Structure 1
């Protein structure tokens, strides 16, 4: 596999296969939403779009970065989301980096959204469906987020089937600016367990695939092939 690691603003054209990484916290939250029973996640392009979707579909669950706000049911925190019952529900997610990144590559033939919690399932999907070039979208901090780059590099190594010790990649993520801001309460809409939950390696056995559906970019869970050697 030939990986490229790019910030969303550095994308040149439409990649064939894209893995959009947002560890802290969009795609950790998305994985938790599926674990709590969500059927699908609509990736909204703006807060106004999310609110408009909520107005048309009152039972849909809306969530956003930062503090709670009128019209939104939840915030982008895995620690807070894990207590919700989302059985059979549609979630509308709008975040600063992750959803923006997924929408930027919506024309790709395969779009996977990932964090450490679904790293191995994502790597297995790449081994099966994308043996060639893969573009990893490092969404945070204009492509410089250490937690996203570490996760992307770990998934890329695992996608080759190489035995890989995850500890250094997780340490890098744990020392990142995003982890510090979450731990210190700099960001709003945060649970004390958020950093630890974002660093749970392979917490969930599924990958997450985003694709256009009826003019919307929709994220769904996808079963991954059986695991290989670690």
Structure 2
């Protein structure tokens, strides 16, 4: 499998298969939303678009980065979301990098969204697909976020090798700038357990596939 690791702005063309990685915290949060019973997640292009969707569908749960804000029901924190009952609900998610990355490759034949919590399931999805080429979209810090790059590299290796030691990759995630900012309270809308939850390897047994449904980019879990 030929692998490419690119930032969002480095995407010169639409890949056939894309894995969009946001460990801290968009796709850890998405995985927790599905674990809490969410049916699907709509990835919004902007805060205004998220609020417009919420206005049209008052029963949907709108979620954003940072501090809570009028019109939004939740924030982008796995520690805060894990106690919310989302059974059968639709979540609208807008984050700084993760949702942007998925929308940047919305025309790809297959879009997987991932973090460490669904790493093995994502690797299995790639093996099942059998694609010759996979582009990993490293969403944080203009493609330089080490927690995202480490996770992407780990998934790529797991897709090609039956046995891979995750310790090095998890250590890089724990030592990343994003982990420090979450732990030190630099970012808003944070739970003390967020870093640990983002670094739980293979917490969930499903991959997350994003695809266009009418005009919306919709994320759904796929059991592997």
Aligned residues: 224
Aligned partner of 2:85 in structure 1 is 85
Query: What SS does structure 2 have at the residue aligned with 1:156?
Result: helix
Query: What SS does structure 2 have at the residue aligned with 1:79?
Result: helix
Aligned partner of 1:26 in structure 2 is 26
Q: Deviations over 1:175-200 (max 9, x none)?
A: 00000000000000000000000000
Q: Deviations over 1:157-179 (max 9, x none)?
A: 00013311000000000000000
Cα distance in 2, alignment partners of residues 45 and 161 from structure 1: 36
Structure 1 residues not aligned, in runs of 5+? 225-230
Superposition deviation, residue 223 in structure 1: 1.4
Q: Deviations over 1:117-158 (max 9, x none)?
A: 000000000001133100000000000000000000000000
Alignment of 1:64-213 (within 5 A): 64-213=64-213
- After the TM superposition, which parts of structure 1 deviate over 2 Å for at least 4 consecutive aligned residues? none
- Contact 2:17 2:131 survives alignment (8 Å): no
Cα distance in 2, alignment partners of residues 132 and 94 from structure 1: 31
- Contact 2:122 2:155 survives alignment (8 Å): yes
Structure 2 residues not aligned, in runs of 5+? none
Normalised to the residue count of structure 2, the TM-score between the two structures is: 0.99
- Contact 1:17 1:130 survives alignment (8 Å): no
Normalised to the residue count of structure 1, the TM-score between the two structures is: 0.97
